[in-house]
Structure 1
Amino acid sequence: MEIVDLVVEYASGLSISDRATYVRELRSVHPSSRVIDIMCHLSGAEAPPSARASIDGTEVPLDQCDDGTFVVSGESESPTPGSFIARHIGHAWTKDQRQQFGRFVHTLSAAALAGAVGLWHSTTDWVPAAVFNVGILILLAVVFFLA
């Protein structure tokens, strides 16, 4: 179960926006009891509404059932492996998210620098692999610091 955004629109222009519960296995959306009550009161005076929900970042049309719940209409598209990353990279971060990401990357930078210093002091034979490892750790420290 997950929480999704539900929008119910009537032909008269009335629009109801609320959160609803989505059961992925059943492909059904269960609105809150107050929205079901409002839709029952409006059913006598209004034409049947159209509904859509925002599921996994995409707007999906819904079909209304008799009990007030909704079912996802049409075929469900299978998510592509990169779709999660594509949706979440480059989104507008809040100030707090940017600050926390900066702290995280700064910690990674400090850890890479500490690892490079530790490897430098513990290496006795400077073979190409040891030089490469120290160089990569220093490079990561710089990249993470500038990120």
Structure 2
Amino acid sequence: MSFMLPHLHSGYAVDQAIVTEEERVVVIRFGHDDDATCMIMDELLYAVSAKIANYAVIYLVDITEVPDFNKMYELYDPCSTMFFYRNKHIMVDLGTGNNNKINWAMDNKEEFIAIVETVWKGARKGRGLVEAPKDYSTKYKY
């Protein structure tokens, strides 16, 4: 489903997408279109894109085509999803220890919509770190 979502093909395009969006959260999936984890995430992103269009916009970035942000955002995972609002990186406390990004493929649409909505509400209030509605730590998974 990655062909259905807009791609950013340069560092300048990524910067402009983050800087020019004033009212909505910018969700960027960094990774590869042919990676299995990214394929699952792209399917979810496409499924929710119409539902969150009022308060979020989704872009995809190939980390080999645009390596400008790999070191800055520590993009070493095959698939990473990050949130930005008014040229500011919004961190999300998911209970995993890494607040900068979601580095796994989510499969529940409602949970992802809830995360984006929480990011949007928190970012509008000026918060740089928001707490996810659900704890994603492996602490309670047996």
TM class by shorter chain equals under 0.3
Q: Which has the higher contact order (CA 8 A, sep 6+)?
A: 2
Higher percent of residues as helix: 1
Structure 1-normalised TM-score? 0.21
Task: State which structure, 1 or 2, has the greater radius of gyration over its C-alpha atoms.
Answer: 1
Structure 2-normalised TM-score? 0.21
